[in-house]
Amino acid sequence: MHTTFGYFDLIETFPKAGCAVCNLLQRDVTHLLDSILYEYSVDRSMQAGFRASRGLCNQHGWQFTKLGNALSAAVLYEAALDEVLTVMEASGPDERTRQGGWLGGLFGRVQPSALAEALMPKQPCAACAAQDAAEARYVTVIGEQIQDERIREAYRASEGLCLPHFRQTLAHAQDGDSAKLLLALQKDIWSRLRAELNEFMRKSDYQNAGEKMGAEGTSWQRVVARLAGEHGVFGLRRSGR
C-alpha cells in the first residue's frame, strides 16, 4: 500500500508551506519541462506533439523560456510555428484568387471561421496533460489513504490543501469515514487561518496601531493561495474548478 505512487512524496511535502498537491505539481512540471528540453527536443513524437498543441500553453510556455536551453526550445517551437504556417498556407489565398478584392484575395473561398478553427490546438499542452494526470493520482492517494496514520498526521500538521485540490480529494474519498476525516482536518486548518485573518484585521485597525504584527501579517496573502491554489498551478486553460 505504501509503495503507491506519491505516498512518500506527499508525506515529505505536507510539512512545507502551501498546498502539498500544488507544490508537487510544480516540482513535477519543472522536471517534465527540463526533460523535454534536455532529452526530447529532437524526438519526432515530441515534435509532433508540439505541432498538434501549437507549442505549450501560456503559463508553461513562459516557464519553458526560463529554463536556460534556448536551442532546444527553438527546435520545438520551430516545429509548432511551421505547423501553424502550414495550416495557414493550406487554407490561404493562392495567386489565382488575388483578384477578388482585398477580402476575396485574403481568404479566397475559405471561411475565416474555418481557418480559425483549423488553427486551434489539436491536443492539450504536454505539460498541462502531464500535470492533470499527476494531479489525479495525488488526490486519489490522499482520498484513499487519509486514514493511514502517516498521511493523516502529515495532513494535520500542514497548511491544508488549496480549495480546488481539497474538492478533488474529497471526491476521491474512499468512504464516508474518510470524507468526514478530510473535512475535519481541513476545517481545523482553515478555522485557524480565519482566526489569523481576524487578528490581522484587528491589528490593522488604527486604534490598535501600537500592537506588533505577528505571523498573521501574511494571512491575507496565504488565504489567496489557499482558495485559488499556489501561484501558477491553475492557468487560463486549467482552472481546476
CA distance 20 to 24: 6
Angle of CA points 119, 55, 117, to nearest 5° = 15
* Residue among 21 and 145 whose Cβ is closer to Zn ion: 21
At how many degrees (to 10) do helices 20-39 and 70-91 cross? 80
Q: How far apart are CA 222 and CA 204, in angstroms?
A: 17
CB of 92 to Zn ion, least distance (A): 28
The DSSP letter of residue 14 is: T
The nearer residue to Zn ion, 52 or 106, going by C-beta atoms, is 52
Distance in angstroms (rounded) separating the CA atoms of residues 66 and 44? 23
Q: Nearest distance from residue 165's CB to Zn ion, in Å?
A: 4
Least distance in Å: CB of 211 to Zn ion? Answer: 32
Q: How far is the CB of 126 from Zn ion (least distance, A)?
A: 7
Place of cell 498573521: 216
Please give the C-alpha separations between residue 112 and each of 46, 88, 92, 115, 122, in angstroms, as whole numbers.
29, 11, 10, 5, 18
Least separation in angstroms between CB 58 and Zn ion: 8
C-beta neighbour count of 109 within 10 angstroms: 9
Residue matched to cell numbers 482585398:
102
If you search the block for the grid coordinates 482536518, which residue do you land on? Answer: 185
Q: Which is nearer to Zn ion, 21 or 173 (CB)?
A: 21
Nearest to Zn ion of 56, 199 (CB atom): 56
Nearer Cβ to Zn ion, position 110 or 228?
228
Q: State in angstroms the smallest separation of the CB of 194 from Zn ion.
A: 19
Residues that bind Zn ion (CB under 5 A): 19, 21-22, 57, 60, 125, 127-128, 162, 165, 229
| Residue closer to Zn ion (CB basis): 26 or 47 | 26
